Each structure stands twice: as C-alpha cells, then as structure tokens.
C-alpha cells in the first residue's frame, strides 16, 4: 500500500503594473511560463510566502492587495497542491536573471492567458480579468 503524498501549500502573486499588464515568469528548469509563486516555509504565513516568492523570482518588492480564491491541483510529482494568490503591485526593485527565473514578461491579461503553460493559471487570470 502506498502512503498518500503530502499536500503542498504555496503562495504567489498576480503582479500588475500601472497600465494593467500582468507579470509572468519563465522558469528554465521546467521551460514554462507561470505566475510567480512558491512553497510555504515552515512557520511562514501565506502572505509572507507570497511576497517572498515574488521577490525571489522577480526582484520586485510588492504591495499586497486583495486575496484571490485559492486554486488546487495535482502537481507534476502527483502531490495535491493548493496555491494562494494575491493581487500585487510593485513597490521597488528590478528584475535580474536568477536560479529559478531567466526571463519575465509584462503582458495584457489576454496575452498572458495565451502564454501561460498551465490551464489553472490561465483560468485564474480569466476569473479576475475575463
């Protein structure tokens, strides 16, 4: 009998610029385009995780806006995963290529939906900017 896989909790952001463009990140490890997000550290709040992950992946310090409904799915390792997202806007910083992300793009919601690699990410963008 196989034991159930441990659920993954993660958080991230829908980072918007003043012109209504959304920030997407390219992760070379997976060769995908996604919303910036990452796993919760032990003892970390979801809000702190979301801000940290966006900063680590993009170089941007952000303001935390409204929370969105979480999305749940099974990840590429077969684990149940729940991701909590917040609307965010940039406070300061600039992008520099790093270990996780080699490129970012600011896109209209419609362009973002076309480029996003995962249907749950596209559905989230459509739900807030359909």
Look at residue 1 and tell me if it is in a domain.
Answer: no
For residue 2, being part of any structural domain is answered with: no
Within 43-91, residue ranges assigned H as helices are 46-58
pLDDT in tens, 4-19: 678 899 999 999 999 9
Specify if 15 maps to a domain. Answer: yes
Query: Is there a contact between 35 and 13 (Cβ–Cβ < 8 Å)?
Result: yes
Q: Is residue 54 part of a domain?
A: yes
Provide the pLDDT for residue 19: 96
pLDDT of residue 103: 98
pLDDT at 110 over 80: yes
88 belongs to a structural domain? yes
Pairing status of strand 37-39 against strand 8-16: antiparallel
Looking at the 3D structure of the chain, how many domains does it have? 1
Please state the pTM of the whole predicted model.
0.93
- For position 120, which CATH number holds? 3.90.79.10
Residue 80 lies in a domain: yes
Query: How far apart are alpha carbons 108 and 130 in whole angstroms?
Result: 11
Which residue would you say has higher pLDDT here, 1 or 69?
A: 69
The average pLDDT across 100-112 equals 98
Q: Tens of pLDDT along 27-57? A: 999 999 999 999 999 999 999 999 999 999 9
Joined tokens for residue 10:
């993660």
Average pLDDT on 83-111 reads: 97
**DSSP string over 5-49:** PPPEEEEEEEEE-TTS-EEEEEETTTTEEE-SEEEPPTT--HHHH
Q: Residue 85 is part of which domain span?
A: 8-129
pLDDT of residue 5: 78
Report the pLDDT averaged over residues 103-114: 98
């Amino acid at each position: 009998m196989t034991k159930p896989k441990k659920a993954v909790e993660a958080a991230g952001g829908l980072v918007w610029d003043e012109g209504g463009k959304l920030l997407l990140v390219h992760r070379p490890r997976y060769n995908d385009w996604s919303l910036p997000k990452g796993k919760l550290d032990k003892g970390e709040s979801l809000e702190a995780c979301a801000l940290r992950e966006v900063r680590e992946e993009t170089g941007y310090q952000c303001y935390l806006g409204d929370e969105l409904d979480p999305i749940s799915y099974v990840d590429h390792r077969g684990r149940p995963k729940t991701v909590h997202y917040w609307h965010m806007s940039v406070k300061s910083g600039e992008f520099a290529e790093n270990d996780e992300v080699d490129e970012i793009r600011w896109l209209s919601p419609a362009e973002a939906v076309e480029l996003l690699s995962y249907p749950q990410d596209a559905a989230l963008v459509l739900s807030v900017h359909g």
